[in-house]
Amino acid sequence: MSVTAPRGFAAAGVAAGLKSTGKPDVAVVVNRGPHKVGTAVFTSNRAKANPILWSQQAVADGVVEAVVLNSGGANCFTGTFGFQTTHQTAEKAGELLGVSPGDVLVCSTGLIGTGDEVFRTKVLDGTTAAIGSLSDDGGEDAARAIMTTDSRPKNAVVSRGGWTIGGMAKGAGMLAPGLATMLVVITTDAVLDRDAADAALRSATRTSFDRLDSDGCMSTNDQVTLMVSGASGVVPDTDEFADALAELCRDLAEQLQGDAEGASHDISIEVVGAASEDDAVVVGRSVARNNLFKAAIFGNDPNWGRVLAAIGTTDATFDPYDVDVSFNGVRVCSAGGPDRPREDVDLTPRATHILIDLKSGDAAATILTNDLTHEYVHENSAYSS
């Protein structure tokens, strides 16, 4: 049931006509529990959409009663009109729910630079319809309503001793930190204060969504929201909650990776033997963003030279002539030189594992990415048509 698996939440997804396909495009998630705690993390792109600008202000007091999300239009670079549209969306939701508009977050996804009176009317009408359709099992409908180029909804649920975390996500392209082009709503019925919720969310996103780097492109609309209802009445151990939240976020991040636009390989780049975790992340990301490497994986070519060339552009601590590289369990490079024959590597499975041993320390990190395919280029060349 996704975001409605925890107690105290209701959700809905409706079709408001923002998509030409007639599919659902406006979602609402509402916290009906005794606690209204909320926190969020946002894109680090300096170019931020109007919903991001609004939600950053609204979440500052740590109270979130509801989130309204639309697909079919990013409402980004739409000027004063666009910000007013976001503001009116929060006001409409606040009016219908009997809460302060300042406690309503807004998220949008879709094409940048488009927005007019028709768009505004559809968003507001969709908000009205979604609130009128709220139900305790509406999480799946909400997850479908936020999809754009996604081929399927992404949901996850983790339960522990008497409390539950639920989440939904969308995203299939522009997947790169900070965050990814994604909208994520996470709910829990555990009892947490704002500081504990915020710390757990930032820790979880750091090792999940922030390490998903599908195509190196950062969105203007990324937002991950955590809402706390406290409806279970259970105060969890903070470490246990943080672990459970990290598990849920990793699950959603892997679902986003698996649905990346046009991808034929899901690539996990594991970097070990790093002098620091930051070094491991930098090295892994350098490979994930290397188009020559990604094209080689698409062609089932274990071209380890492209891995070494990519990591050599970083300032991480290591000796490039003492690095080992393995593809799907076969070490093809040892100490910066050839090892087993490339013919020993099978890259036909979708799941692809790259292991890079820097031999410079004990730190490690894994970056998730995808290959570069004809389908990815085609889909993004026709995105606005």
Please identify every residue annotated as catalytic.
Answer: 181
Selection from 136, 135, 189 nearest residue 166 by Cα:
189
Q: Is 48 annotated as a binding residue?
A: no
Burial class of residue 53, CB neighbours in 10 A (0-12, 13-18, 19+): middle
Identify the DSSP state of 162.
S
Q: Is 300 annotated as a binding residue?
A: no
Q: How far apart are CA 54 and CA 39, in angstroms?
A: 14
Residue 376 tokens read as 């990815």
Identify residue 327 by its one-letter amino acid code: F
Query: What's the N-to-C CA distance of the chain in angstroms?
Result: 34
Identify the DSSP state of 161.
S
Residue 2 tokens read as 């996704």
User: How many CB atoms neighbour CB 385 within 10 A?
Assistant: 4
Q: How far apart are CA 357 and CA 335, in angstroms?
A: 9
Q: How far apart are CA 367 and CA 55, in angstroms?
A: 28
Cα dihedral 188→182→365→275 (10° resolution): -110
> Do 323 and 235 contact (CB within 8 A), yes or no?
no
Q: Is 181 annotated as a binding residue?
A: yes
Residue 206 CB contacts under 8 Å (≥ 6 apart), including other chains: none
Q: Is 268 annotated as a binding residue?
A: no
User: How many CB atoms neighbour CB 38 within 10 A?
Assistant: 27
> Do 189 and 232 contact (CB within 8 A), yes or no?
yes
Does residue 153 sit in helix, strand or coil? coil
Does residue 106 sit in helix, strand or coil? strand
Q: Is 359 annotated as a binding residue?
A: no
Burial class of residue 328, CB neighbours in 10 A (0-12, 13-18, 19+): middle
Q: Is 92 annotated as a binding residue?
A: no
Q: In what order do the strands lie in the sheet with 337-338?
A: 337-338, 330-334, 324-327, 351-357, 266-274, 363-370
Look at the alpha carbons of 135, 137, 142, 144 in this order and tell me if their dihedral is positive or negative: negative
Identify residue 248 by its one-letter amino acid code: L
Annotated binding site: 148, 170, 181, 261, 380, 385
Annotated binding site for substrate: 148, 170, 181, 261, 380, 385
